[in-house]
Chain A
Amino acid sequence: MKQNNKPEKEKTHKANPDWEPRIVAFLCNWCSYAGADLAGISRLQYPPNVRIIRVPCSGRINPLFVVKALADGADGVLVSGCHPGDCHYISGNYSARRKFVFLKHFLDYIGIEPERTHFAWVSASEGERFAKLIAKVVREVKKVGPATHFKQDNCDVN
């Protein structure tokens, strides 16, 4: 029983060349978040499409968070933590890495394009790397356009 008769607001990127993706970035407090900070302090330019969520460690990321972000309308998700070997908690990012392999491949398998989910390592001193990373992620997400996977005419509330 379809209830919601709201007009369809979604525009495809083809119909709307101005479409900008919304990307959720989970950044580890100790490295990647500080890297993002450094990029800001250094006044490096990078696309404003990311909404950053600070987490204590990339090992804190439950795959559920990534799927939830996509289900709630994010066009892409980035998870970034310390380089392997540099984890503030010794091995959080190693544990995370194993989880992410499964997550990335599984989402690809069900049909969520690999261009939408990104995992990366950025240290606190790599402001420039962070800016480049965001630019790349945004480029990749733009390639595949707006995420419509979880949209259904009666639950599209964006």
Chain B
Amino acid sequence: MSIEQNIREISRKLLSDGVVDLIIGYGQGTLPYATTPVFIRNADDVEQLIWNPCCTNNLALYVRRELEQANKKKDARPLKIGVVTKKCDAKAMVELIRENQLKRESIVVIAVPCSGMLDKAKLHKRAGDRELLRVEVSGSEVILAGRGFEIKVNRDEVLRDNCLVCKDPESLPIADEIVVEKDDYKKPYVEDDFSDVKEHEKLSPQERWAVFRAEFENCIRCYACRNACPMCYCSECFAECSQPRWLGGSVELKDVLFFQIVRVLHQAGRCVDCGACAAACPMDLDIRKYTRKLNYDALNIFRFETGVSPDDKPLLATFSIDDTQEFITEPE
């Protein structure tokens, strides 16, 4: 049995036993490197569920949305959702539970042992920006094919960066149903020393701003980063707030950079590093470079990691009397 069949089997059972009303998982996409989220309410439809190394979207986003919408309806039976969950989805759900956005009892976590997801941008780069018509994964090899070319690449080299630093992707912080099948490929693990962040910090402020500006002045303000992010759930985003209006309508620096700075800052102590923002960005902006700084600070200053346990309070909702003061300006 494959992971995929295992997922289907669990989902079929959950639906036909009436344990859950809805399964959120991944279905076949129309592009060779894409899957699309599917919503299954009927046990007969579980064949739509698939599993492959292109299941990049973070489903926690949909879980929160569906529950919120269901809870708006009065007198409705509380909705229960089964979620096909890889580690980053689980971490996001942990954070959402912590922030009272999800109830643990409303979800059934179908824990899938993930072996890392493929990075769309890396695939395209490896194919020399030629169009990909077929992406085939077998073991530690990925075959990229298009009109008149077929190349084999090492799977390790086309994984997303956040997958490389993901430790123990097979052990999830929350799980109810466990997919016991395993992929025969084992993803490499690179210990996250935040060397990229430290390297960036060595630049001068002018250089750092130049890097930041050169990246984000290309933002088209489509808000895909925000909307793909499981942690961006504000019912009114500051970007759209009209009283007061924080953000102008233009794509000039004062608006795009301001939007990106504040959106990223809102992830302080919350970002689960699932890579959804960067994957969603149609302009391929390196958003993760900046959210990682926040994770680095959380770890470095507060010894805090997101997505570990649903029982603690969020980092910024608590404080300690002994918190760091080194950044405070003293008049003398």
Contacts and interface: CB of A to CB of B under 8 A. Distances in A.
In the complex, are there CB atoms of A and B closer than 8 Å?
Answer: yes
B254 A72 contact: yes
Q: Which of B315, B320, B331 has the most CB of A within 10 A?
A: B331
A119 B268 contact: no
Given A110-B212, A111-B209, A119 B328 contact: yes
Given A67-B261, A106-B265, A150-B257, A101 B293 contact: no
Nearest to A97: B323
B329 A119 contact: yes
Interface stretch (A12-20, A26-34, A48-56, A130-138): A130-138
A101 B329 CA distance: 12
Contacts of A88: none
Contacts of B253: 149-152, 155
A120 B331 contact: yes
B290 A109 contact: yes
Nearest to A79: B329
B332 A132 contact: yes
Contacts of A137: 329
B128 to A, nearest CB: 32
A124 B268 CA distance: 31
B265 A102 contact: yes
Interface in B191-225: 197, 200-201, 205-213
A136 to B, nearest CB: 5
Contacts of B328: 119-121
B316 A95 contact: yes
Interface string A66-91: 01100110000010000011000001
Interface residues of A, number: 47
Contact of A136 (B210, B262, B323, B331): B331
Contacts of A102: 265, 268-269, 294, 297-298, 316
A71 B257 contact: yes
Nearest to A119: B328
B9 interface: no
B330 interface: yes
Nearest to B320: A94
A68 B246 contact: yes
B315 A98 contact: yes
A129 B330 CA distance: 9
B250 A94 contact: no
Interface string B111-141: 0000000000000000000000000000000
Contacts of B325: 84, 97
7 contacts: A72-B254, A98-B302, A106-B265, A120-B330, A149-B257, A150-B253, A151-B254
Given A98-B319, A111-B209, 14 more contacts: A84-B325, A85-B321, A97-B324, A98-B269, A98-B315, A101-B301, A105-B297, A109-B197, A109-B200, A109-B201, A113-B205, A133-B329, A150-B253, A155-B250
